[in-house]
Amino acid sequence: MMDPVKLVLVGSFLILASAAAVMAGVLPLDEVAVIAERVWPILVFVVAVTVVAELASIAGVFDVAAGALARLSRGRTIALWLLVVTLATASTAFLSLDTTAVLLTPVVVAVARANGLSPLPFAFATVWLANTASLVLPVSNLTNLLAVHRLGGADAGAFIGLLGPSAAIAVGVTVALLLVVHRRDLRGRFLPAAPPLISDRLQLRIASLVVVVLAPLLVVGVEPWIPATAGAIVLLALFAWRSPRVLRFSLVPWSLLVFAIGLFVAVGALEQVGLRTIAAAMTGTGESPLALWQMSGVGMLTANAVNNLPAYVALEGAADTPRRLAALLIGVNAGPLITPWASLATLLWHQRLTAVGVHVPWRTYVLWGLVAAPLTVAAAVVPLTVR
C-alpha cells in the first residue's frame, strides 16, 4: 500500500531511473526541459494551496464552518449530512481533493460525535466526494491541471463547459448511493452541540478571509499558482506573527512532490520507447459512446490497479480529443473508489480516521467501491456521448 513514506521512496527511485535514461540518451535533455516547463506551475500550486488549507485548518476555519452547519441543520440528521456534502463538494472543488480527505474528514467526524451521531456517513461522504467532486474545476485535482495544458490552457469556464454536466452527475450519483448505504444512520434528530472554542479569533478572521477571497481567484482565468501563492504568503506571515510554532517543514507535501516529479520524468522516458502506442491499444480510438466508455473504463481500472496520477499520465497520450480527455479524467478522478491505493487522498483519509479512532475495514470500502465506481463513471460519461 502506497503511504506517504513509500511515495517518497518510489518517487526517488523514479528520479534515479529517469536520470539514468537521460545519461543513456533515451530521454533527451530538451524533453526534460519541456516537462519541467509544463509541471512547475502545477507543483507550485499544489504546495501553495496545501499550505493555505493546512493553516486555515489550524486557525479553525473548518471547525467553525462545520459547527455552523450543525446549527443550521436545526437538529435534523439528514439536513446536517446534506450540508456536509455541500461543504465537502466546495472544499474539493476549490481547495483540492486532498484538503477534503485530510483536513475536512476529522472535522466532520468530530462534529458527528459531538452531536451524538454515527461518524461513518460523514466520513464516507468526504472520501467519495473528494474523488468524484474533483471533476468540478481545474484546481480540484492535479490530473485536471495537467489536462488543462492539453486543452490549450483552457480557463475554468471552458473546463466547466466540457466536464460540468459529468461532474454534476458524478456528484449526484455519489450522494444517491451514500444515501442508500447510510439511510438508517441518517434518520432522526439531534441536539446541536455548542460552537467550537477558538483561541485566536483575529487569526480565524484573517484565515477565513483569505480562503473566501482565494476561492473565486482560482477560477477567473489567472494562473492558479499566483493567487494560491499570494494566499500562502499572507497566511505564513500571519502565523509567523501570531503562532510561529505552528510553522514547520511538514506543511509542504514533500512526499507528493517527490513522487510527482519522478513520475512525470519517468513517463516522459517511457513515451520515448513506446508507451503511447501501448496506451492507444488499450483505450481504442474515436468518440463513439463505446469508445468514450472504453477510455473512462480503462482509466478507472488503471487507477485502481496502480494510482490515479500515474494512470492519467500514462494514458494521457491516447486522449487525443477534448471529449476523450474528459472521458479519461472521469475514469481517473471518479473511478478510484475501489482499492485503497487508487488515490492518495483515500490513504490519507484512512490514516486520519484511524488517528481519531474510527475503524473502517478495507474490505467494506472495497465492496462498496465495486458498486459505486462503475456506476458513477458510466453515468458521468453519458453527457459526453450526446454532444
374 pLDDT exceeds 90? yes
- Please list the residues that pair with 189 across neighbouring strands: 76
DSSP 324: H
- As a whole number, mean pLDDT of residues 74-86 equals 94
- pLDDT band of residue 280 (cuts 50, 70, 90) is confident
- From 105, 100, 1, select the one nearest 342 (Cα to Cα): 1
- The CA radius of gyration of the chain, in Å to the nearest whole number, is 21
40 pLDDT exceeds 60? yes
Provide CB contacts within 8 A for 24, sequence distance 6+: none
Cβ(223)–Cβ(105) below 8 Å: no
- As a whole number, mean pLDDT of residues 215-232 equals 87
- As a whole number, mean pLDDT of residues 143-166 equals 84
pLDDT score at 275: 67
Q: pLDDT (tens digit, 9 = 90+) per residue, 308-330?
A: 888 898 898 889 899 999 999 99
DSSP string, 118-142: -SHHHHHHHHHHHHHGGGSSGGG-H
335 pLDDT exceeds 80? yes
200 pLDDT exceeds 50? yes
pLDDT score at 129: 96
* 3-state helix, strand and coil shares in percent for the chain, rounded to the nearest 5: 80, 0, 20
- pLDDT band of residue 368 (cuts 50, 70, 90) is very high
pLDDT score at 205: 95
Handedness of CA 268, 329, 98, 109 (dihedral sign): negative
pLDDT score at 88: 95
- pLDDT band of residue 342 (cuts 50, 70, 90) is confident
pLDDT score at 4: 60
pTM of the model: 0.85
Mean pLDDT score of the chain, rounded to an integer? 87
- From 78, 74, 70, 58, select the one nearest 113 (Cα to Cα): 70
- As a whole number, mean pLDDT of residues 90-107 equals 88
- pLDDT band of residue 57 (cuts 50, 70, 90) is confident
> Who has greater pLDDT, 277 or 141?
141
1 pLDDT exceeds 50? no
